Structure 1
Amino acid sequence: MCRWLAYSGDPLQISRVVLDTKHSLVAQSLNSPLGAETVNGDGFGLGWYGPSRDPGDAPAVFHSIEPAWHDENLRELAQAVESQLFFAHVRAAAGPPIQQTNCHPFRYGRWLFMHNGAIAGFAAMKRELLLEVAPEFFLGIRGTTDSELVFHLALTHGLMDEPIEAMARTLRRIEEAGRAHGVTAAVQGTFAVTDGATVWAFRYSSEHRSRTLFHSEDIDVLRAMYPDFERLRVFGTRARLIVSEPLNDLPGAFIEVPESTAVVVTPDGAYEHQPFLAPA
């Protein structure tokens, strides 16, 4: 499917995690040991916020259909841009064509969204779900992926007011539509959304066997564990990462997010875990 990461914290050069770590996102685009596909070479995208955390500020985005390991612009951009909150995504297309409008992250106003996984039976239910997108969001759909439709359905269901509740309503609605078309397990994946201040990430699938998801350990804890590990010094004390798979091999550096869980990274850098559509 795909690989992604979300960073929040003190301003950080994007290349520090997208390019420079042992298992960076670009490295995962070529070799993803924990992914459904080993290679994720069907385009990539970045979304980042400027130095202000003003909630009215919209993020910048950059999309390319080049494989991440092959695109010189990605290296130039990632080394030049520092951001206190950014999303990065490498794509393995599950059917929709390889085009810029199908690359994550997707943007609406100040919001960013990305997904790893798939909606089973999407072609059968696509028209029905598209017609449920509110008119004020409908024209924002520019591509053909299930992921972009999930985002705009979530906006319709109140994402900008209640992110966790809106994602729950959206995925339950997709499951309902799937059952009507004979699909018993429609939803698979991990999802991330941000308004530029808070990050919400979700690990959920209808079968409760979701794609992998991890978040970083507190940086002060890691420095105490590994006082001689030089690379930790580039990160500020509020640095937080949510990733499809760990970026290094340090034991304890990344913590697996439980199945059917929502993870929240607050503006002050705290992690919060909440059950999300957990089985009864």
Structure 2
Amino acid sequence: MCRWLAYTGNPLQLETVLFREKHSLIDQSLHSRMGATTTNGDGFGVGWYGHLGDLPFRYRCAHPAWSDRNLRDAARAIRTPLFVAHIRAATDTPSQETNCHPFRHGRWLFVHNGLIRDYPNVRRELMLMVKPELFASIEGSTDSEVMFFLALTMGLEQEPVPALERMAAAIEEVGWRNGVRFPLNMTVCATDGDQIIAVRYSSERESRSLFHSTSFRHLHELYPNDERIKAVGEDAYLVLSEPLVDLPGWWEEVPESTAIVVRGAAVYQRPFAPH
């Protein structure tokens, strides 16, 4: 399917996680270990925040991430305290820039790994559930973008986790009504620049892989001389589809049907139950 990551902490060069690490996101675009597909070459995108209050920036391209020379230069130039990045493996929709993640509306960015099953047959019904005032902002044809705008319709900007639960429930209801046994499989991330919300959920309870970093304070104690850990600070946090490096104690798997909310140094998990 796809691979993605989200970071918050001290301002960090995008290059650090996109290119430098042993199993960086660019390496995952060619050699994914845990994805449904080994190669994720149907486009990529990064979204990041500048000064407090700024709208997020994006760079998206329909070409494979490993072959984009401009991405390497941009990743060296950009330092930011919060960003998301995504590499795409297309399912039912074409490889084009408007189908590349992250999707954006106002201050919000959204990425997704997984799929709405039998999407061509339920697409119309789902799209008609999007608020009319939001509908014109849908640019592409992918199921992931419709998920984002359904979540916005259902209150993402006011109460993110309940809105994502309502979005998931709506997709499942439409799918079941159309004879789809397991309508939804997703790991998603939504952020407004102040918080990161990540969810691992699927109708069949066999979701795509998702991990988060452990306490960086603890990692400083375990690896006091590791310059990568020093650079991000003690309150940094990563949520990602696959670990970037193989260091014991660095990663924990996100449990099935779980939402994570990260705001500054505060992190908490809660059950994710569509309703």
| Structure 1 counterpart of 2:227, one-letter code | E
Aligned counterparts of 1:206 and 1:168: Cα–Cα separation in 2: 12
Residue in structure 2 matched with residue 275 of structure 1 by the alignment: 271
Mapping of residues 71-82 of structure 1, within 5 Å = 71-82=68-79
Residue in structure 2 matched with residue 193 of structure 1 by the alignment: 190
| Structure 2 counterpart of 1:47, one-letter code | G
Aligned counterparts of 1:62 and 1:139: Cα–Cα separation in 2: 21
| Structure 1 counterpart of 2:215, one-letter code | D
Q: Note the alpha carbon deviations across 1:169-194, whole angstroms, 9 max, x for none.
A: 11101000001110021010100001
Residue 39, structure 1, aligned to residue 43, structure 2 = no
Shift of 1:233: 2.2
Residue in structure 1 matched with residue 181 of structure 2 by the alignment: 184
Aligned counterparts of 1:263 and 1:10: Cα–Cα separation in 2: 20
Shift of 1:18: 1.1
Structure 1 gaps, min length 5: none
Shift of 1:223: 1.5
Aligned counterparts of 2:88 and 2:77: Cα–Cα separation in 1: 23
Residue in structure 1 matched with residue 250 of structure 2 by the alignment: 253
| Structure 1 counterpart of 2:127, one-letter code | L
CA RMSD of aligned residues (A): 1.2
Contact 1:204 1:259 in 2 (8 A): yes
Instruction: Count the aligned residue pairs.
Output: 275
Q: Note the alpha carbon deviations across 1:76-104, whole angstroms, 9 max, x for none.
A: 10100011110100000112100000000
Aligned counterparts of 1:278 and 1:140: Cα–Cα separation in 2: 25
Residue in structure 1 matched with residue 210 of structure 2 by the alignment: 213
Q: Note the alpha carbon deviations across 1:206-250, whole angstroms, 9 max, x for none.
A: 011100100111112112112233332222222111000101000
Aligned counterparts of 2:138 and 2:228: Cα–Cα separation in 1: 40
Residue 163, structure 1, aligned to residue 151, structure 2 = no
Residue in structure 1 matched with residue 25 of structure 2 by the alignment: 25
For residue 19 of structure 1, give the secondary structure of its aligned residue in structure 2: helix
Contact 2:12 2:81 in 1 (8 A): yes
Name the % identity: 52
Aligned with 1:135 (options 132, 135, 151):
132
Shift of 1:278: 7.8
Aligned counterparts of 1:80 and 1:36: Cα–Cα separation in 2: 32
| Structure 2 counterpart of 1:112, one-letter code | L
Residue in structure 2 matched with residue 153 of structure 1 by the alignment: 150
Normalised TM-score (structure 1): 0.96
Aligned with 1:69 (options 62, 66, 87):
66
Shift of 1:196: 0.8
Normalised TM-score (structure 2): 0.98
Shift of 1:135: 1.1
Contact 1:260 1:278 in 2 (8 A): no
Residue in structure 1 matched with residue 230 of structure 2 by the alignment: 233
Residue in structure 2 matched with residue 60 of structure 1 by the alignment: 57
Mapping of residues 113-128 of structure 1, within 5 Å = 113-128=110-125
Task: Please identify, of 104-113 and 217-226, the stretch whose mean Cα deviation from structure 2 is larger.
Answer: 217-226
For residue 125 of structure 2, give the secondary structure of its aligned residue in structure 1: helix
Structure 2 gaps, min length 5: none
